């Protein structure tokens, strides 16, 4: 079992979160055909932990909340993975990517799932101001987008670092889009790619990130189909043209 988070903020400044320290869960129904899930939790003991957004260690709270459940029955109709799932199913290939919001360089906040079912393929391109390979690659991506957007292709250029390897500002995002001849509404400001890589595993190579980076999702359900740095993707597709051709139906 994972954590149980209670809404609200304590005087200490963190949300109240309880994690299980004892108990068992019995899954009685997990039917892919109907999407039905039923389970029973028995002997569950939850203890309060200190929760911080980017913490790597979450300590128990001294004299914190303790919650016990002798037996609790759970039941839900699970959304099909053929549809977009707001909370997602994970961040790796073949997972359905959770919804997220980014601000584009035109100043608009856009939700990924706003285009669920309206596009056939969603192409994420991580780029940076200091990246010479990105400078050569962006015109190629934009040409592919212009040629295929009528077929259902959507492109997000995700700008994560400026010319000095630092977290960029909105003004630098606008300047980057302008000098790269990219539409402002398709370039998104995501300093250090914090949002993108928390939702889509970038499959780091030897602990480092290779740019430009490509990620492809099925526009029907935001299923993560391809990552340019993933061995799994390379085993499935010769190059990025494979998933794009497959999804666009060419």
- Cα–Cα nearest to 192, from 213, 169, 166, 214: 166
Instruction: Calculate mean pLDDT across residues 41-70.
Output: 78
The predicted structure's pLDDT at residue 46: 86
Cβ atoms < 10 Å from Cβ of 65 = 14
Question: Fold for domain 101-248?
Answer: Glutaredoxin (3.40.30)
**Band of residue 57 on the pLDDT scale cut at 50, 70, 90:** low
pLDDT digits (tens, 9 = 90+) for 76-112: 766 667 889 998 988 999 999 999 999 999 999 999 9
- Helical ranges in 57-200 per DSSP H: 132-148, 170-179, 194-199
Beta bridge partners of 25: 41
- Asked if residue 74 lies in contact with residue 62, where contact means CB atoms within 8 angstroms, the answer is no
- Asked if residue 216 lies in contact with residue 247, where contact means CB atoms within 8 angstroms, the answer is yes
Tokens representing residue 152 in the block: 């259902």
- Cα–Cα nearest to 110, from 213, 172, 195: 195
Q: What 3-state DSSP class applies to 61?
A: coil
Task: Report d(CA 218, CA 52) in Å as an integer.
Answer: 33
Instruction: Give start-end residues of each CATH 3.40.30.10 domain in the chain.
Output: 101-248
pLDDT digits (tens, 9 = 90+) for 183-198: 999 999 999 999 999 9
Within a 13 Å sphere around the CA of 119, how many CA atoms are in the beta-carbon half?
Answer: 23
Task: Report d(CA 15, CA 7) in Å as an integer.
Answer: 7
pTM above the 0.75 mark? no
144 pLDDT higher than 90: yes
231 pLDDT higher than 70: yes
**Band of residue 34 on the pLDDT scale cut at 50, 70, 90:** low
């Amino acid at each position: 079992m994972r954590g149980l988070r209670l809404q609200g903020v304590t005087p200490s400044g963190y949300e109240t979160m309880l994690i299980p320290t004892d108990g068992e869960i019995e899954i009685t129904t997990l039917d892919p055909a109907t999407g039905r899930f039923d389970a029973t939790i028995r002997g569950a003991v939850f203890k309060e932990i200190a929760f911080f957004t980017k913490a790597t260690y979450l300590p128990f709270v001294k004299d914190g909340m303790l919650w016990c459940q002798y037996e609790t029955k759970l039941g839900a109709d699970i959304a099909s993975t053929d549809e977009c799932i707001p909370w997602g199913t994970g961040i790796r290939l073949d997972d359905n990517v959770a919804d997220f919001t980014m601000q584009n360089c035109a100043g608009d906040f856009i939700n990924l799932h706003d285009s669920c079912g309206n596009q056939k393929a969603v192409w994420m391109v991580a780029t940076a101001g200091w990246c010479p390979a990105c400078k050569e690659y962006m015109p190629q991506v934009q040409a592919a987008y212009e040629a295929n957007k009528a077929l259902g292709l959507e492109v997000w250029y995700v700008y994560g670092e400026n010319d000095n390897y630092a977290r960029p500002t909105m003004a630098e995002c606008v300047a980057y889009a302008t000098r790269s001849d990219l539409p402002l509404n398709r370039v998104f400001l995501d300093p250090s790619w914090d949002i993108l890589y928390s939702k889509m595993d970038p499959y780091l190579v030897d602990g480092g990130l290779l740019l430009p980076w490509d990620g492809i999702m099925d526009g029907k359900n935001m299923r993560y189909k391809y990552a340019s740095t993933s061995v799994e993707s390379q085993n499935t597709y010769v190059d990025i043209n494979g998933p794009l051709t497959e999804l666009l139906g060419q």
